[in-house]
Chains A and B, each alone.
Chain A
Amino acid sequence: MIWLGIDTANTPLSVAIVKDGVLLVEENSGMAINHSLRAMPAIEELLTKAELKPSDIDAIAVSEGPGSYTGVRIGVTIAKTLAWTLDKPLVGISSLRALAMDALFFDGLICPIVDARRGNVYAGVYRYDNGKLISIYEDGHYSLEDIMKFLEQDDNQVLFVGKDTVMHEGEISERLGQQAVIAPLHFNLPRASALIHAAIQSEQESDVHTFVPQYRRIAEAEANWLKGQGKDKSRE
């Protein structure tokens, strides 16, 4: 069973190939290079390194967001087009869950964070339980304040993961003090191999044609339009 994993949901790029439970090759990059320039060439290089052809791929795991709208769409478009034309299953995994996967054995809460500007973050809160990562605060677009309030009610230590954590480190330690643990740098890039591991665990195949990113946020124009219609769903 050969898996291809793709994560372009935010600035980092990660692509990996796992064969029969073994990670063959992986590329992880935190460089700010447009995903349209790098993603497909990286996938081609990876298959060459693994001595495989596109038709050897048995399943595809992709980071479905949340994150940069354009970034998520590039990975999802590549993944769903490959899955459709190769007629192989596709599994979407939350970009935040993928980040939290790196911290699997942390004994406490795990909070993956991606900066969303203006004091907002894409975040979720997870807990490692019986070999599985359980979501205890739903992935979403929140103010950092919302996340802090939720975490303050808990006595457990919280491990923050994601490269954007440093941007909010001041506020986090001010609010949570000793309760907060900042992940070491090598935990902070999403890894496509972790995505594949989560996909194998999830056993939930997606419908390829209707598969879309989980933006976790309504488009601004749509929010304004709904407001004009008297239905404020901007926090959907």
Chain B
Amino acid sequence: MKKDMYILGIETSCDETAASIVKNGTEIISNVVASQIVSQKRFGGVVPEIASRHHVEQITLVIEEALLDAGMKPADLDAVAVTEGPGLVGALLIGINAAKAFAFANSLPIIGVHHIAGHIYANELMQRMEFPLLALIVSGGHTELVLMGAHGSFKLIGETRDDAAGEAYDKVARVLGLPYPGGPEIDKLAAGSDAEIKFPRAWLEPGSYDFSFSGLKSSVINYKHNLDQRGEEINPAHVAAGFQASVVEVLTTKALRAAKEYNVKQVIAAGGVAANRGLRASLEKAFQEKGIPFYVPPISLCTDNAAMIAAAGSAMFTEGVRGTLAMNGKPGMPLISWNTEK
């Protein structure tokens, strides 16, 4: 009988301090997340220095809780997986150095995981991935379409040329005077709106799978500015609905076209913005109509967490990928395949 594999995941790339233990790459044994949203709310966004200070306060507590919740000791683990990048460098370094110290003290191997590979592998915790697979990653820092031919094989087919979708949400939310984080607020307003302002869609050149959201953000700002000049009040719900409709239509259309072109067996959405109800509903409807299986993890696995890092780390561990004690934070780390055969 094959021995079970237990991987400890650690994630500190932005404003969540998280640790999790995952069994065989698919089963969550424990999943602990300490969020800084309450503290960062004061600043209307994530301040890197504040994020790093919070991570130091939380890191050992969070790892200890992940072990206690799982009823496990360090000796029960097979490896430690940690987010190596991309992210805020000062924040990444806390998770990385805690992971290295923990791995060293307990004679465990260490694995550096790409944050986006983590978001994609959050789906392995729900159902098995089938290839070829298309992943749509939408978060505060990312908007990407990734094609996977096999485990650990990533091909970036489209990405944002300016703002990430989540960034656009936060900026528009600020224009509308909504609290941070802006995404859920806009989603809520849009859902309850009875009309929408028509904003442009950025399709870019024909055939492109890239995205652009800065033009959309500017048209929202201009729209408000024009009304301000005329002394008229904007209707935030109508603006939110119009903005969201533009984002959702572009994301859905491009994902659908890519899924058909590459004849994929499965489409998955990942990242914090994948928790957006409007986007989820639109993607679900579009792929259902075409008969392509589509999955989104539950909200707790869409937002940053360590179970997804442990899941990706498990796949890497099985492939023999290992890091060293000289691991450094890589704020601009590219998504590189660890399986280059397919």
Residues of A participating in the B interface, judged by any CB pair closer than 8 Å? 34, 36-41, 43-44, 54-55, 69-70, 73-74, 76-82, 84-86, 208-210, 212-213, 215, 219-222, 225
For the residues of A in contact with B, the DSSP-based class is helix
In contact, A80 and B49 (Cβ under 8 angstroms): no
CB contacts (< 8 Å) of B107 on chain A: these are 54
Using known A-B contacts A73-B93, A78-B100, determine if residue A221 contacts B56 with beta carbons closer than 8 Å: no
Q: How far is the CB of A171 from chain B (nearest CB, A)?
A: 29
Q: How far is the CB of A193 from chain B (nearest CB, A)?
A: 21
Closest residue on chain B to residue A222 by CB atoms: B50
Closest residue on chain A to residue B62 by CB atoms: A209
CB interface residues, B 21-52, toward A, < 8 Å? 42-43, 47, 49-50, 52
In contact, B60 and A209 (Cβ under 8 angstroms): yes
B88-126 to A contact mask, C-beta < 8 Å, 1/0: 011001101110111011110000000000000000000
In contact, B101 and A208 (Cβ under 8 angstroms): no
CB contacts (< 8 Å) of A209 on chain B: these are 60-61, 64
For chain B, the count of residues having a C-beta within 8 Å of the partner chain is 35
- List 5 extra interface pairs beyond A70-B89, A78-B97, CB under 8 A: A74-B97, A80-B59, A82-B101, A212-B53, A225-B43
In contact, B53 and A77 (Cβ under 8 angstroms): no
CB contacts (< 8 Å) of B104 on chain A: these are 40, 43-44, 54, 82
Q: How far is the CB of B81 from chain A (nearest CB, A)?
A: 16
CB contacts (< 8 Å) of A215 on chain B: these are 53
Docked Cα-Cα span, A73 to B57, in Å, equals 10
Q: Judge whether B327 is part of the interface by a CB distance below 8 angstroms.
A: yes
CB contacts (< 8 Å) of B329 on chain A: these are 36
Docked Cα-Cα span, A38 to B328, in Å, equals 9
In contact, A70 and B90 (Cβ under 8 angstroms): yes
Which of B56, B59, B97, B325 is A44 in contact with, Cβ under 8 Å?
B325
In contact, A40 and B93 (Cβ under 8 angstroms): no
Q: Judge whether B74 is part of the interface by a CB distance below 8 angstroms.
A: yes
Using known A-B contacts A208-B60, A219-B47, determine if residue A81 contacts B328 with beta carbons closer than 8 Å: no
CB contacts (< 8 Å) of A39 on chain B: these are 97
CB contacts (< 8 Å) of A78 on chain B: these are 97-98, 100-101
In contact, A221 and B97 (Cβ under 8 angstroms): no
CB contacts (< 8 Å) of B94 on chain A: these are 73, 77
Q: Could you give 9 example pairs across A and B, Cβ below 8 Å?
A: A34-B328, A36-B96, A36-B326, A41-B325, A54-B104, A85-B101, A85-B105, A85-B106, A222-B50
CB contacts (< 8 Å) of B97 on chain A: these are 36, 39-40, 74, 77-78, 81
Docked Cα-Cα span, A70 to B96, in Å, equals 13
Docked Cα-Cα span, A55 to B57, in Å, equals 24
In contact, A221 and B47 (Cβ under 8 angstroms): yes
Residues of B participating in the A interface, judged by any CB pair closer than 8 Å? 42-43, 47, 49-50, 52-53, 56-57, 59-61, 63-64, 74, 89-90, 93-94, 96-98, 100-102, 104-107, 324-329
Docked Cα-Cα span, A78 to B105, in Å, equals 10
Q: How far is the CB of B42 from chain A (nearest CB, A)?
A: 5
Closest residue on chain B to residue A84 by CB atoms: B60
Q: How far is the CB of A41 from chain B (nearest CB, A)?
A: 5
Docked Cα-Cα span, A210 to B39, in Å, equals 17
Docked Cα-Cα span, A213 to B53, in Å, equals 9
CB contacts (< 8 Å) of A80 on chain B: these are 56, 59-60
Q: How far is the CB of A55 from chain B (nearest CB, A)?
A: 8
Q: How far is the CB of B156 from chain A (nearest CB, A)?
A: 27
Using known A-B contacts A209-B60, A219-B53, A225-B42, determine if residue A81 contacts B102 with beta carbons closer than 8 Å: yes
Which of A36, A40, A69 is B52 in contact with, Cβ under 8 Å?
A69
Q: How far is the CB of B18 from chain A (nearest CB, A)?
A: 15
CB contacts (< 8 Å) of A210 on chain B: these are 57
Docked Cα-Cα span, A36 to B90, in Å, equals 11
CB contacts (< 8 Å) of A73 on chain B: these are 52-53, 56, 90, 93-94
Q: How far is the CB of A66 from chain B (nearest CB, A)?
A: 13
Q: How far is the CB of B69 from chain A (nearest CB, A)?
A: 16
In contact, A221 and B60 (Cβ under 8 angstroms): no
Q: How far is the CB of A75 from chain B (nearest CB, A)?
A: 9
In contact, A81 and B52 (Cβ under 8 angstroms): no
Closest residue on chain A to residue B67 by CB atoms: A85
Which of B42, B56, B105, B327 is A77 in contact with, Cβ under 8 Å?
B56
Q: How far is the CB of B74 from chain A (nearest CB, A)?
A: 6
In contact, A220 and B49 (Cβ under 8 angstroms): yes
In contact, B98 and A77 (Cβ under 8 angstroms): yes
CB contacts (< 8 Å) of A221 on chain B: these are 43, 47, 49-50
Closest residue on chain A to residue B327 by CB atoms: A36
The residue in A38, A39, A74 that gathers the most chain B C-beta atoms within 10 A of its C-beta is A74
Q: How far is the CB of A63 from chain B (nearest CB, A)?
A: 14
